[in-house]
C-alpha cells in the first residue's frame, strides 16, 4: 500500500475520528485525511497539543477539524457514551474511526512486569479502543460506507520477548478486529480492519530504542497511504483483514 495514490477528494465530506492525533501516525494521518477532504475529529489527552494540530490543519487550507480531549486511561463507559452522543449531535454519523493512540512504557521480562503497568497498558491499548468503538457503532452504522481501523503491531501477530502487556493488548486488538468484522459482515456497511504500521520515527520508538539512529527509521508518513486506502471507497468490501503498511 505504500504506492497507493489517493485521489485529492478521496475523503471529501467524510467525518473521521482519529485517536492519538498529536504525534506519530495519528498526527500524520489526521493532516493527510484533512487534506483529502475529511472533517477530522482530533482526539488526544491534552487540549493544548490538539490545538497545535488543529492550527496545522487550518494552515494547510483543509476543512476545519474538531477537537476531542479524551483521557483513554481513565475514561469509563459512560464517558465514551457521552462522547458518542456529542458526535451524534454535531455530525449525525461517523464515516471513519481510526485507533492510533498507543502506550508502551518499557520493554521487560514477564518475570519483572509491574502489575499496575500491565493494567494501564491493556486499558489504553485495548479496553478503551473497544469501549470507544462500541459507543460509536450507531454512528458508524448511520454512514453510507464506514471504516474502523485498529492500529496493530508485529508483536500482536507473532509474540516477541520483552513486549509484555503491549503484545498481549495487540493480540487482543487483532482478535477484536476479527470478531467485530464478522459480526458486521453482510448486515451493515461498516468495514473493520487492522494495520501494522511497521517501525516508524516516533517519540515512542525513541523512548524504547534510545541508542538507535532515528534517521535509519522511516517517518510516520510512510504508513499513511494504507490508512487512507482503508478509509476511502477504494477499499470497499475489504473487512477482517490484518494489513501491513510496509513491505517485509
pLDDT at 62 over 70: yes
**Cell 477537537 identifies what position?**
67
Model confidence pLDDT, tens digit, residues 147-204: 999 999 999 999 999 999 999 999 999 999 999 999 999 888 999 999 999 878 877 8
188-246 pLDDT per residue, tens: 899 999 999 987 887 788 887 888 888 888 889 999 999 999 999 999 999 999 999 99
Q: pLDDT grade, residue 1 (50/70/90)?
A: low
pTM exceeds 0.85, yes or no = yes
pLDDT, residue 204, reads 80
Q: What is the number of other CB atoms lying within 10 angstroms of the CB of residue 236?
A: 11
Q: Cell 459482515 maps to which residue?
A: 185
Mean pLDDT of the chain: 94
Contacts of 13 (CB under 8 A, 6+ apart): 37, 39
- 40 contact partners, CB below 8 Å, separation of at least 6: 16, 17, 18, 21, 30, 33, 34, 57, 63, 65, 66
Kindly indicate the confidence band of residue 248, based on its pLDDT and cuts at 50, 70 and 90: low
pLDDT score recorded for residue 165:
96
Domains by residue range for the chain, with CATH: 15-244 (3.40.50.720)
pLDDT digits (tens, 9 = 90+) for 65-99: 999 999 999 999 999 999 999 999 999 999 999 99
CB-based contact 72:128 (threshold 8 Å): yes
Amino acid at each position: 500500500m505504500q504506492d497507493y495514490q489517493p485521489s485529492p477528494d478521496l475523503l471529501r465530506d467524510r467525518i473521521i475520528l482519529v485517536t492519538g492525533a498529536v504525534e506519530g501516525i495519528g498526527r500524520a494521518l489526521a493532516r493527510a485525511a484533512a487534506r483529502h477532504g475529511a472533517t477530522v475529529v482530533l482526539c488526544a489527552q491534552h487540549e493544548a497539543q490538539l490545538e497545535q494540530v488543529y492550527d496545522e490543519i487550518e494552515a494547510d487550507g483543509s476543512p476545519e477539524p474538531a477537537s476531542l480531549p479524551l483521557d483513554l486511561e481513565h475514561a469509563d463507559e459512560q464517558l465514551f457514551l457521552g462522547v458518542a452522543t456529542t458526535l451524534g449531535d454535531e455530525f449525525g454519523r461517523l464515516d471513519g474511526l481510526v485507533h492510533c493512540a498507543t502506550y508502551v512504557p518499557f520493554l521487560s521480562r514477564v518475570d519483572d512486569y509491574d502489575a499496575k503497568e500491565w493494567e494501564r497498558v491493556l486499558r489504553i491499548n485495548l479496553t478503551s479502543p473497544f469501549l470507544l468503538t462500541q459507543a460509536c457503532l450507531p454512528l458508524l452504522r448511520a454512514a453510507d460506507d464506514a471504516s474502523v481501523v485498529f492500529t496493530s503491531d508485529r508483536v500482536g501477530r507473532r509474540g516477541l520477548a520483552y513486549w509484555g502487556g503491549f503484545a498481549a493488548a495487540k493480540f487482543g486488538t487483532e482478535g477484536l478486529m476479527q470478531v467485530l468484522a464478522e459480526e458486521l459482515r453482510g448486515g451493515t456497511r461498516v468495514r473493520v480492519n487492522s494495520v501494522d504500521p511497521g517501525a516508524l520515527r516516533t517519540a515512542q520508538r525513541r523512548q524504547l530504542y534510545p541508542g538507535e539512529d532515528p534517521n535509519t527509521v522511516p517517518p510516520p508518513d510512510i504508513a499513511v497511504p494504507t490508512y487512507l486506502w482503508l478509509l476511502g471507497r477504494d477499499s470497499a468490501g475489504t473487512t477482517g483483514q490484518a494489513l501491513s503498511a510496509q513491505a517485509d
